[in-house]
Structure 1
Amino acid sequence: MAQESLLTDSTPDLDVPVVNARTAQLSQRKLIWRRFRKHKLAVLGLVITAVLYLIVIFGDFVAPYSTGHYNADYTYAPPQRLHVVDAQGNWGLHVNPLIMEQDPDTLALEFTADTSRTVPVGFFVEGEEYQLLGFIPANRHLIGPVDANAPPMHLLGADRNGRDVLSRLVLGTRISMTIGLVGVLIAFVLGIVIGGISGFVGGRTDMIIQRIVEFFMSIPTMPLWLGLAAAIPREWSPLTRYMLITVVLSFVAWTGLSREVRGRFLSLREEQFVTAARLDGATRPGLIFSEMLPSLMSHLIATITLAIPGMILAETSLSFLGLGLQAPSVSWGVLLQDAQQIRVIATAPWLLLPGVAVVVAVLALNFLGDGLRDAADPYKR
């Protein structure tokens, strides 16, 4: 009874949070998850992020068409609406095919929906063949016209070559989301290793490493990205350019994390549990990986989540400016290159949808990172 009273009492002068007996028995993982669930925006960010990475894995299945599928008769075709009941009162999911007409007054070519005809739409329909997960032959798509020879379906419109915007937006998620993940992982490893050595060893080693870090931090980030990206030969394959862009982005993204890790290591190396492990005969790698890094893991996970949006924005900016990924590669930045023309803003605003995808992904990852950062300290009030 006395022990429970001690656990539930608070000491305002020392700012000690109230912890009941049931909470005190939970593991750190359960405490983090319990606090994370209370952050509604973080949970929403987790759901959206999970959906985006499922699209990365199963993008060929989700997309109605491949990135190269086009129809020149549907250049800048507007988005089509899904209907359940046609003009005759018949039930069935469908779209009305588009017909091109010329305005007699302005002579402009315009698309109108032909309500007298329907294109049946279904789920898990047969379409173009692809390699699911990169090695499984498949031809099923989540949604699309039931008849492969029917007029095309453009739920989010078509671009200047008559290619489906929805399909290219879905398949562009693969590069835009993974280039951030791969780039952050590289920067994560560099930041932990270099920052850990600097903070743990200290002395002259710390001084030399910090001067190198300060040198990289003093270089203007955007001009460095532009210069390194422009140095990549354009005749190289899209995959090679993709890998090099990832290295370029991660090359300048590790300095901030290394500073954070260094500061944490400087404070942790004086803690009693580290001193006890050192007196017990633990080696330097053992102290770093078994004692110090686990205490930073929650903070590092939150840092990774907050760093991915920066990578996504960097790739999108470089590709939009023509210095990043190039066609036939498909990313959100490459898709936004078509939005540089006045005609797009005036007559085809649906080509700006990749920008909306960037905003949604960045906000979701930021919400998720904020939630993880707050949940990393489950006893914080």
Structure 2
Amino acid sequence: MLTKTPQSEEEAALADDAPVAGGQASPWRLVWRRFRKHRLAMAGAVIVVIAYFVVVFAEVLAPGSPSATDEKHTYAPPQTVKMDLSWDDGLRFYTNGYTTRRDPETFEQIHTVDPDQRIPLKFFAKGDSYEMWGLIPWDRHLFGATDPDTEVYFLGADRSGRDMLSRIIHGARVSLSIGLIGVALSFFLGLLFGGISGYFGGTPDLLIQRVIEFLMSIPTLPLWLSLSAAVPDQWGPLSRYLAITTILSVIGWTGLARVVRGRFFSLREEDFVTAARLDGCGRGRIIFGHMVPSMSSHVIASLSMAVPGMILGETAMSFLGLGLQSPAVSWGVLLQEAQNVRTVETAPWLLIPGLAVFVTVLAMNFVGDGLRDSADPYK
């Protein structure tokens, strides 16, 4: 008995899954089918979703306030969560407290774990008060000490006795949102100037390309230095945040603009563009209604790869003291304390924000690779 062999990748994709209405799958559905077969991209997507979930619910997920200090627990080491199972009380969580002594020579506080001291833990523990999304007052945290007056340090403490886990969670909100906002601005500028350059050519193309070449020829670090020096020192954390986002967007739009320009050059003489022009479509409709959708795979790939670049840019600027400054909390600000080798030797957990940057950026790169391979399912 003869069976029909799929003649195209679209038919093969349709044969592998449940049939769709009308016998056809939309382009986005075909993209999703190919993307979910990319294992690294799917794993990266899960990590990215978790990261932005942390961003949205940072106040609840953090064990405490990122700015709460405790001089008695400077450079306190991480505390391990332990479980105790008994017939009477069931499963209980706890961690061990510290025994603190001062070095007689350096007068440095030395914390050691005290196995005889138990700190009970529970879910949705009462702690520092906050306003969820600036609207809802609450004082519950996902996991913490049963006694609201007892501090716990699951990832250790910094030189001021501030909880590193709470600071990393709140720092994710700044570092990851800068990536999205910066890419949105870069996308707008790159699509606008790249589209004008590629569609009209001539003098507009000449002027825009010279500006792009000028920006790309400037070394990144001196450009950061000059733009950051223009930000007044008296600006608050929010103003500096917006300024850093703008700076990263001004730097980051040139690559996308060149991609868009090259695609427009190849598309403006295609038959469907000529047909739209002869049909009386305006330039705006031709550009945004016909040409931009046809190059969606390139745009998606460029955007997905630009987000981790923005995150690394903010982290590098803040690490070098050119970006956000304390009391603002971002991954780059947290890594400033890891610049001293002796400090890292004493408290290696101060490098954990760098691990958060590494994992997040790597996951986003995997997602970008998967989107790049999946965005053109007909090729």
TM > 0.5 fold call:
yes
Quote how far apart the aligned CAs of 1:44 are.
Answer: 0.9
Match of 1:146 in 2: 146
Quote how far apart the aligned CAs of 1:101 are.
Answer: 2.5
| Higher deviation after alignment, 269-278 or 351-360 | 269-278
Match of 2:134 in 1: 134
Quote how far apart the aligned CAs of 1:126 are.
Answer: 1.6
Quote how far apart the aligned CAs of 1:25 are.
Answer: 2.8
The count of aligned residue pairs is 368
Match of 1:13 in 2: none
Amino acid at match of 2:45: L
Mapping of residues 79-118 of structure 1, within 5 Å:
79-85=78-84, 92-102=92-102, 109-118=109-118
Cα deviation 1:192-220 (Å, max 9, x = unaligned): 00000111112222222212221222222
Distance in 2 separating the partners of 1:21 and 1:31:
7
Match of 1:211 in 2: 210
Asked whether the 8 Å contact 2:74–2:109 carries over to 1, the reply is: no
Amino acid at match of 1:365: M
Question: 1:115 and 1:273, CA in 2 relative to 1: closer, same or farther beyond 3 A?
Answer: same
Distance in 2 separating the partners of 1:92 and 1:343:
38
Asked whether the 8 Å contact 1:8–1:21 carries over to 2, the reply is: no
Query: What TM-score comes out, normalization by structure 2 length?
Result: 0.92
Distance in 1 separating the partners of 2:344 and 2:208:
49
Distance in 2 separating the partners of 1:112 and 1:212:
58
Cα deviation 1:324-360 (Å, max 9, x = unaligned): 1000000000001111122222110000101101101
Question: 1:283 and 1:346, CA in 2 relative to 1: closer, same or farther beyond 3 A?
Answer: same
Distance in 2 separating the partners of 1:103 and 1:251:
50
Distance in 2 separating the partners of 1:18 and 1:308:
30
| Higher deviation after alignment, 109-118 or 57-66 | 109-118
- Give unpaired runs (5+ residues) of structure 2: 16-22
Mapping of residues 199-348 of structure 1, within 5 Å:
199-348=198-347
Identical-pair percentage = 53
Match of 1:369 in 2: 368
Question: 1:275 and 1:351, CA in 2 relative to 1: closer, same or farther beyond 3 A?
Answer: same
Cα deviation 1:14-73 (Å, max 9, x = unaligned): xxx685483683221111000001111101111111111111111011101111112110
Question: 1:192 and 1:344, CA in 2 relative to 1: closer, same or farther beyond 3 A?
Answer: same
Cα deviation 1:262-286 (Å, max 9, x = unaligned): 1111111111111111111111011
Does residue 131 of structure 2 align to residue 119 of structure 1?
no
Amino acid at match of 2:127: G
Match of 1:14 in 2: none
Quote how far apart the aligned CAs of 1:103 are.
Answer: 6.2
Distance in 2 separating the partners of 1:107 and 1:184:
48
Distance in 1 separating the partners of 2:165 and 2:295:
41
Question: 1:263 and 1:162, CA in 2 relative to 1: closer, same or farther beyond 3 A?
Answer: same
Distance in 2 separating the partners of 1:326 and 1:107:
29
Amino acid at match of 1:93: F
Cα deviation 1:234-273 (Å, max 9, x = unaligned): 2110110110011111111111110100111111111111
Cα deviation 1:125-146 (Å, max 9, x = unaligned): 1211111122111211111111
Amino acid at match of 1:378: P
Match of 2:41 in 1: 42
- Aligned to 1:207, the other structure's residue is in SS state helix
Query: What TM-score comes out, normalization by structure 1 length?
Result: 0.91
- Aligned to 1:76, the other structure's residue is in SS state coil
Quote how far apart the aligned CAs of 1:379 are.
Answer: 3.2
Quote how far apart the aligned CAs of 1:299 are.
Answer: 2.3
Does residue 76 of structure 2 align to residue 77 of structure 1?
yes
Quote how far apart the aligned CAs of 1:114 are.
Answer: 2.1
Does residue 192 of structure 2 align to residue 193 of structure 1?
yes
Amino acid at match of 1:251: V
Distance in 2 separating the partners of 1:32 and 1:241:
38
Distance in 1 separating the partners of 2:247 and 2:109:
44
Amino acid at match of 1:113: V
| Higher deviation after alignment, 218-227 or 32-41 | 218-227
CA root-mean-square deviation? 2.3
Question: 1:67 and 1:21, CA in 2 relative to 1: closer, same or farther beyond 3 A?
Answer: closer
Amino acid at match of 1:111: H
Asked whether the 8 Å contact 1:78–1:156 carries over to 2, the reply is: yes
